[in-house]
Structure 1
Amino acid sequence: MQPEPIIAEVRNQQSKKRRRWKIHLLPIPALIIYGLFIVYPLLAALTYSFFDWEGIKQGAFIGLSNYKDLFTLEPFRGMFWNAFGHNILYFVIQMIVQNGIAFLLALVLYQKIRGMEFFKIAYFLPRLLSVIVVGFLWKLILNPNYGALNILLGKFGLESLQKAWLGDPDTALIAIILVNCWFGVGFAVLIFLAGLQAIPHELIEAARLDGARGLTLIRKIMLPLMVPSLMIMTVLTFIQSFEAFELVYAMQGSQGEPYRSTDTLAVYFYRLAFGGSSGDSTAVGLGSALAVVLFIFISSITAIMLKFINKKQIDL
């Protein structure tokens, strides 16, 4: 073999190695952004939670005292469990209403009805709006004096059902959660529809030949084969429910009005760490402790759910 081909081959290999290194450099900007806006705030919150604070001035190291105060000292203890209960309710209603309606709509679209593409776009359209825009829009619709909902109820002779939807402690949180369901149902439809379309058509046809129809077909064939999609949507709903902030803030502010009936853990954290709109003093240490507790809770439950999903996928 002549020297020239050998040299060319060596240069070609060196060029390939350089290209590989350049490919490895591509994730660096994303990693820097992730570190600045995700990792650093998490580590900072963990550090802040171990110190006493005078306003925004860091004081002495106090260990786990902020965590202890969060769970034992009033009013922090009461507000924590009040907000935690609201997050639980948020999750339960979203699972039943949002994901239940989304599954039914996905079943309808699975039948390949005429105009299916239009309906998929129509269902997903609210998701394209900003959460803040959705919050202010529905705040206007639910206004007790000139809101579209109460006006429509009056037009149909249902004046007895008219309410100050966001001013009544019994309806305020439910109204916000239902708005969130309206906002998120389109995304859930796409997830469930993808799960349905992943089921081999031969299995559906074989089940129908065996006499499976309606609820029997759904319960014994479709649902078991959709477990990954169902669990993924459960995980996403859980995370979203326990991080609920933007919509609550847009519709009710940072005070959880009326009478803390719309407080969630994220809103409570915001009020502790940055002060409320009514001039509440900040409690950076307690807010950081709450952020750490919320992060550990969400990540732990999510890890358990993902492990369950992996186990189900292996079983399938």
Structure 2
Amino acid sequence: MTETALPGKKPFRWHIGVFLAPAVIIYSAIMILPLFATLNMALFNLTPEGVTTFVGLANFQTLFGDPRWADAFWNALANNTWFFLIHMLVQNPIGVLLAALLSSPKLRMAAFYRTAIFIPTILSFVIVGFVWKLILSPIWGIAPGLLDAVGLRWLYAPWLGQEASALTTLALVSVWQFVGIPMMLIYAALLTIPDEILEAAEMDGITGAKQFWKIKLPLILPSIGIISILTFVGNFNAFDLIYVSQGALAGPNFATDILGTFLYRTFFGFQLQLGDPHMGATIATAMFGIILVGVCIYLFTIQTRLRRYQF
């Protein structure tokens, strides 16, 4: 006898679980389990006798309240915020502008320009940091000579060696490397705008820059929102460029220290500073909380407002 499904009852789709199982297992092994292990480690500490003991939120109280830790943490958080703001205010607007220019049907060699702008994003952080450090070097760098060639030698300064300019300089280097990502995402969003909408706008006399500001920009706002949250998450997880360019101490005088480098020194130790995995896990948990709060604010406030522009 063959088994038949009961009337009105949907058959169990077991193949969905089979297809999802590999991804769920891998994601849980490399993301979920380490996340909970880190959260758990932040709640413990080592006694002078070397015994691990549960301390609850005492590590967070130390991180936020003890001057030995709090000063470095708030300095890193402030630097990380400035690093993020430069990307938001420079990288993403430039990406939108480049996408608008490259999407013009009148532009020749648009594919070449897109490729040339996107290539830096596939380069290693080590290469980018080392090359730019050589370019900006006051001893053997080419930046002083290039500025001198155009009569702007007086503008040059050892930007990576000055506390006031080192972080901004590295942020602009990061902008140069990753501006191709928002450019390509916005370019793809512009291509999805139906031709009927643009043709109707042209019939109403809305063309050129006016068409972009009044028609295209509102329609790609959801994509700009996604790029913004990706920028936020990526910048608050930043580490590589600062470490390659300025080292684990994030010089000069911790002027380029961000949460990633602060976490590295705390967890693994560096030079005379001994590693403290429990305080390192506390910093990592704080970083996770900051990113989580930022993502939730975006999802429950900004994203709901941007849905009105989707078509």
SS of corresponding position for 2:159: coil
Q: 1:117 aligns with which of 111, 115, 138?
A: 111
- Aligned AA for 1:108? L
1:61 and 2:51 matched: no
1:107 and 2:100 matched: yes
User: Residues 48 and 288 of structure 1 are in contact (CA less than 8 Å); yes or no, is this contact kept in structure 2?
Assistant: yes
d(CA) in 2 for partners of 1:58, 1:132:
39
Q: How far did 1:119 drift?
A: 1.3
Q: How does 1:72-221 map to 2 (within 5 A)?
A: 72-112=65-105, 113-221=107-215
Q: TM-score under structure 1 normalisation?
A: 0.87
Per-residue CA deviation, residues 26-48 of structure 1 (Å, 9 max, x unaligned), is 44443333223211221111111
Q: How far did 1:74 drift?
A: 0.8
Long gaps (5+) in structure 1: 1-5, 11-16
Q: How far did 1:179 drift?
A: 0.8
| Matching residue of 1:35 | 28
User: Residues 222 and 309 of structure 2 are in contact (CA less than 8 Å); yes or no, is this contact kept in structure 1?
Assistant: no
d(CA) in 2 for partners of 1:176, 1:315:
35
d(CA) in 2 for partners of 1:103, 1:171:
26
Share of identical aligned residues, percent? 37
- Aligned AA for 2:293? S
Q: How far did 1:54 drift?
A: 6.0
d(CA) in 1 for partners of 2:56, 2:212:
54
User: Residues 53 and 284 of structure 1 are in contact (CA less than 8 Å); yes or no, is this contact kept in structure 2?
Assistant: no
Q: 2:281 aligns with which of 288, 293, 296?
A: 288
SS of corresponding position for 1:125: helix
- Aligned AA for 2:161? G
Q: How far did 1:161 drift?
A: 2.2
Per-residue CA deviation, residues 104-131 of structure 1 (Å, 9 max, x unaligned), is 1111111121111111111111111112
- Aligned AA for 1:257? G
Cα distance 1:245–1:58, how it changes in 2: closer, same or farther (>3 A)? farther
SS of corresponding position for 1:89: helix
d(CA) in 1 for partners of 2:244, 2:304:
37
